[in-house]
Structure 1
Amino acid sequence: MTRRTFTCGLDAAIAVMGGKWKGLVLFMLQDGPLRFGELRRALPGISERVLALQLREMETTGLVHREVHPQIPPRVEYSLTEFGRSLNAALAPLGEWGDQHLAQIENIPWDLNRSG
């Protein structure tokens, strides 16, 4: 297993939650467990493949717990671990900052960094 050294705590936190969807998955799970289909419907624009990959990565890093209920058909629920809840709490001020500056952020010309 490869170990990684981080420059600072922010570097470590971004490594754990990096990507477009993980923060949104954390947000969706804050009120309790959800099934895959419920998460998929709550996150318009995410493909099933990407959601499955993100959930697998979040389970591996310890942010999310996957529980399979033994019934036919199997029912799988995803919930936050204590580690995931603590990251969600740390992200709350960032979300508040985004809410406060939403109009300015929406006016940013996001295609500035594209080449061509």
Structure 2
Amino acid sequence: MQDIENVEISCPSDAFLKIIKGKCKSTIIVMIKKGRNRFSEMKKTLPTISERMIAKQLNELESDDIITRKVIEAMPLRVEYYLTDYGESIYPIVHDMRKWGYKHLEKLKTAGW
């Protein structure tokens, strides 16, 4: 987790945004919550994002204690991601944020943007 003294945060909303800011982090959180928690599944669902970017977002979410990584000792070896208890607490917020985003996109589409 980041050292709070080294992070410039002026308000609680900024602290929240600092965690979820990043290419499709909210989508990754939702996917993990819904059980699509393997890298290959994420890659298929997010075809416009490079593998490197997905890995970067996963590493940042793990570093911020939102997700945890579990290595499954099977043949072939596989890795699965899960929300931590802390990550579970952010999920309802991310879910509502995405619902609003879909409504906003529909509004823009209707307005001819």
Which TM class, normalised by the smaller chain length? 0.7 to 0.9
Q: CA deviation at 1:95?
A: 1.9
The CA RMSD over aligned residues, in Å, is: 1.8
The worse-fitting range, judged by mean Cα deviation, of 10-19 and 98-107 is 98-107
Q: Which runs of 5+ in 1 are unaligned?
A: 109-116
Task: Tell me the number of residue pairs that the alignment of Structure 1 and Structure 2 aligns.
Answer: 108
Letter in 2 for 1:20: K
**Which of the residues 33, 41, 65 maps onto 2:68?**
65
CA distance in 2, matches of 1:89, 1:53: 23
Q: TM-score, normalization: structure 1?
A: 0.81
Provide Cα deviations, 1:43-95, integer angstroms capped at 9, x if missing partner.
12111111111111111111111000123321110111122221121122222
Provide Cα deviations, 1:8-63, integer angstroms capped at 9, x if missing partner.
11100111111121111011111225211011111121111111111111111111
Q: Which runs of 4+ in 1 moved over 4 A?
A: none
Q: Percent identity?
A: 34
Letter in 2 for 1:19: G
**Who is 1:11 aligned against?**
14
Give the structure with higher Rg (CA): 1
CA distance in 1, matches of 2:36, 2:99: 23
**2:38 is equivalent to residue 35 of structure 1:** yes
Letter in 1 for 2:97: L
Q: TM-score, normalization: structure 2?
A: 0.83
Q: Which runs of 5+ in 2 are unaligned?
A: none
**Who is 1:113 aligned against?**
none
